[in-house]
A = this chain, B = another copy of it.
């Protein structure tokens, strides 16, 4: 097995030099600079069997945080906005939510407090609103919501806000035999419901916290229904544990953006062999958002030696796909 993929990569490696003079720029939305150069250099060296930085095909595994790395997570991530809308829609049946956190915060619509909710609260919201239905039904609800809602600032569907430079990076890696996984902090099922349509990435490449399911018979047919329990939480032990659970190895390329990603970045950086650790800096107040102070502090922490920062302001010509840079609000 896997031999077809390997053959295709070999074919690709053989044909690429022939087309070298006409090869289009693989990262057209990236400005020349340290970030772009370190990516191109790493991809070239890790594909070259003669290089000491060569990485065997099986080990070419990359992990990308989703919210804040592949699309914006300000003012609040789409998964959280979705959960909030669902809580509000179901208040009639749950008057007790008016007096209990995190529902109280959600109902009172304090945007700043919403943005501070942690993963545990988010999972609690998702649980409260979606127990007892199947993943297929949940997926339909999510897709209906995505079709009917727009980002409050960019006034486009959330699914149209994937960063174009990140699409190019994912395509570059795939062309070199890498398998890229997406870490969904806002719940695996939310992202799996649209990841294939939006990214062309199969569902099993989405990893992270999940809600447990139960095997039940419904109308004489076996179904998996969403339970009121979270499968596991990475809050204490961090994202590295979750990556190991799904992939069985340290990634060789990893990219995150905020303090909650430090643990998986440190773990990847401590691995043997060549690797690339990227951290996206939300430093473009005009075209996007500034990261909150906590993330700015984290990003200059002691463990960050050798990590490559990617600046939205300096490294990206264009933010979103197929459009000119977004104008000021």
Contact = CB atoms under 8 A, between A and B. Distances in A.
B241 A204 contact: no
A171 interface: yes
B201 A244 contact: no
Contact of A240 (B174, B212, B215, B263): B215
Contact of A267 (B135, B224, B266, B270): B224
A213 interface: yes
Contact of A175 (B4, B174, B175, B192): B4
A215 B202 contact: no
Interface in A1-18: 1-5, 8, 11-12
A98 interface: no
Given A202-B58, A215-B263, A231-B232, A192 B248 contact: yes
A305 to B, nearest CB: 13
Interface in A148-195: 170-171, 174-175, 179-181, 188-189, 192
A204 B204 CA distance: 9
B8 A174 contact: no
Q: Give the bracket for the number of chain A residues in contact with chain B.
A: 35 or more
A221 interface: yes
Contact of A249 (B8, B188, B203, B215): B203
Given A8-B8, A232-B232, A204 B247 contact: yes
A213 B246 CA distance: 12
Interface string A223-244: 1100000011000011011001
A104 interface: no
A210 interface: yes
Nearest to A203: B248
Given A8-B8, A224-B240, A224-B267, A170 B247 contact: no
A21 to B, nearest CB: 21
A200 to B, nearest CB: 5
8 contacts: A1-B174, A3-B171, A179-B202, A203-B247, A204-B247, A206-B248, A214-B241, A215-B267
